[in-house]
């Protein structure tokens, strides 16, 4: 049940609400969040805002920063942000959005990945104001007895309301008992941290709601939840993921980060603005209107690429990356090159090379990529799993083979 505000709704509270809502998918319950914000301003006690990430891969990419950006915005408004590394929950494996059991990671993999996560999160959050925690702090001491007591506070019927569990059960796909522990342990994190707000992607909604339920069970005021949309990767279809080869890591070299951002689809670009840019919404709306009125969409993409590259590197590095991109796009490219039109976007880079006549076979295309002999818009392609969205690209193989490929 939502609670009515007990403190006045000031302009600062309205501003914090607007920041919270920008680009978000859901804020639940919104009235409770407004009440928490008003109470925080009246009492001077900052709210505790939690984000948990399992270190399942060695790098954080721009898709992860969608929620990290929101954390930073609320952090800049004076609230306490908690970056929680799920070193314990990683050993279980998050079943969210899965139609099969996720294989758990080894302790060595988790510890290695966790070190890089912490370092990379500092590129977005203010490290001096961030509470960095590991959920093994309270999950390991819980023990078998504590785990049983925790499990008694949530029913199997409610667990089966989760879409992926329900669909797998209906399809006869195995569900391991340990998978039920994941949402319980994530929810228990909220109890341990006494969080006021938990953030996550839309695929995390069920887990976040479990946190609310468990906080009530433990006599705490339930957290609010804020879900952010999942960011599609460079292929424009699948969510950004290292395993799908469609990602931009936050540790990418400035030139590569800039060039990759210029590859995104013209339509998808506005979602990137919404989720990755800190520009005022009115400014983004004006830019979009100009593009719809005939301005070259590349102009807008350049502004986005410079802003994001500046955030993870510097303004000077972003300027240099733009110059490098322009020089490579011009330099060495003949005035007249073959024009090729292909369908089937998003299309893997190896298939594109073969279909465009730039490589005799898929295996030869892969060999060329592995040998750093392929460039797209001047940038060396190092990922043979790269998929390109609809758009036009200058593709170079070796020193002399070029084609302007329009992919639809």
The answer, yes or no, to whether residue 98 has pLDDT greater than 60, is no
Model pLDDT, residue 69: 94
Residue, of 119 and 41, whose pLDDT is higher: 41
Question: For every residue of the chain, which 3-state class applies, written as one string?
Answer: CCCCCCCCCCHHHHHHHHHHHCCCCEEECHHHHHHHHHHHHHHCCCCEEEEEECCCCCCCEHHHHHHHHHHHHHHHCCCEEEEEECCCHHHCCCCCCCCCCCCCCCHHHHHHHHHHHHHHHCCCCCHHHEEEEECHHHHHHHHHHHHHHHHCCCCHHHHCCCHHHHHHHHHCCCCCHHHHHHHHHHHHHHHHHCCCEEEEEHHHHHHHHHHHHHHHHCCCCCCEEEEECCCECCCCCCECCCCCCCCCECCCCHHHHHHHHCCCCCCHHHHHHHHHCCCCHHHHHHHHHHHHCCCCHHHHHHHHHHHHHHHHCCHHHHHHHHHHHHHHHHCCCCCCCEEEEECCCCEEHHHHHHHCCCCCCHHHHHHHHHCCCEEECCEECCCCCCEECCEEEEEEECCCEEEEEEEC
> Tell me: the pLDDT tens digits for 104-116?
677 788 888 888 8
Q: Please name each of the domains of the chain with its CATH number.
A: 11-228 (3.40.50.620), 234-331 (1.10.240.10), 334-408 (3.10.290.10)
The answer, yes or no, to whether residue 100 has pLDDT greater than 70, is no
**Lowest mean pLDDT across 19-28, 33-42, 115-124, 270-279:** 115-124
Rounded mean pLDDT of 77-103? 77
pLDDT band at 96 (very low <50, low <70, confident <90, very high): low
Model pLDDT, residue 310: 97
The answer, yes or no, to whether residue 221 has pLDDT greater than 90, is yes
pTM to 2 decimal places: 0.76
> Tell me: the pLDDT tens digits for 269-318?
999 999 999 999 999 999 999 999 999 999 999 999 999 999 999 999 99
């Amino acid at each position: 049940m939502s609670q009515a505000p007990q403190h006045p709704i000031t302009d600062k509270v309205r501003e914090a609400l607007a920041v919270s809502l920008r680009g978000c998918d859901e804020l639940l319950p919104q009235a409770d969040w407004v009440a928490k914000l008003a109470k925080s301003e009246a009492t001077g006690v900052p709210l505790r805002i939690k984000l948990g990430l399992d270190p399942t891969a060695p790098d954080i990419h721009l898709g992860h920063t969608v929620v990290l950006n929101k954390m930073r915005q609320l952090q800049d408004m004076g609230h306490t942000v908690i970056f929680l590394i799920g070193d314990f929950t990683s050993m279980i494996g998050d079943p969210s959005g899965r139609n099969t059991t996720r294989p758990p990671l080894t302790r060595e993999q988790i510890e290695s990945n966790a070190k890089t996560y912490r370092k990379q999160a500092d590129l977005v959050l203010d490290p001096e104001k961030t509470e960095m925690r590991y959920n093994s702090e309270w999950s390991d001491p819980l023990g078998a007895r504590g785990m049983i007591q925790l499990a008694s506070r949530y029913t199997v019927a409610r667990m089966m309301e989760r879409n992926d569990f329900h669909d797998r059960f209906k399809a006869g796909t195995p569900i391991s008992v340990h998978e039920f522990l994941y949402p319980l342990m994530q929810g228990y994190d909220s109890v341990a941290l006494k969080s006021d707000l938990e953030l996550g992607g839309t695929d995390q909604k069920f887990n976040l709601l479990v946190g609310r339920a468990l906080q009530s069970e433990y006599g705490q005021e339930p957290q609010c939840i804020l879900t952010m949309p999942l960011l599609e990767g460079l292929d424009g279809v699948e969510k950004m993921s290292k395993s799908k080869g469609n990602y931009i890591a936050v540790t990418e070299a400035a030139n590569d980060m800039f060039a990759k951002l210029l590859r995104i689809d013209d339509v998808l670009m506005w979602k990137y603005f919404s989720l990755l840019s800190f520009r005022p919404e009115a400014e983004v709306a004006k830019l979009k209107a100009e593009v719809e009125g005939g301005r070259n969409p590349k102009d807008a993409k350049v502004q986005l690429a410079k802003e994001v590259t500046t955030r993870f590197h510097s303004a000077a590095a972003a300027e240099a990356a733009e110059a490098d991109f322009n020089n490579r796009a011009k330099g060495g490219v003949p005035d007249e090159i073959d024009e090729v039109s292909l369908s089937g976007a998003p299309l893997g880079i190896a298939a594109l090379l073969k279909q465009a006549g730039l490589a005799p076979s898929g295996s030869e295309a892969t060999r060329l990529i592995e040998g750093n002999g392929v460039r797209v818009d001047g940038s060396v392609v190092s990922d043979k799993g790269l998929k390109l969205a609809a758009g036009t690209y200058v593709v170079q193989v070796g020193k002399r083979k070029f084609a302007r490929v329009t992919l639809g």
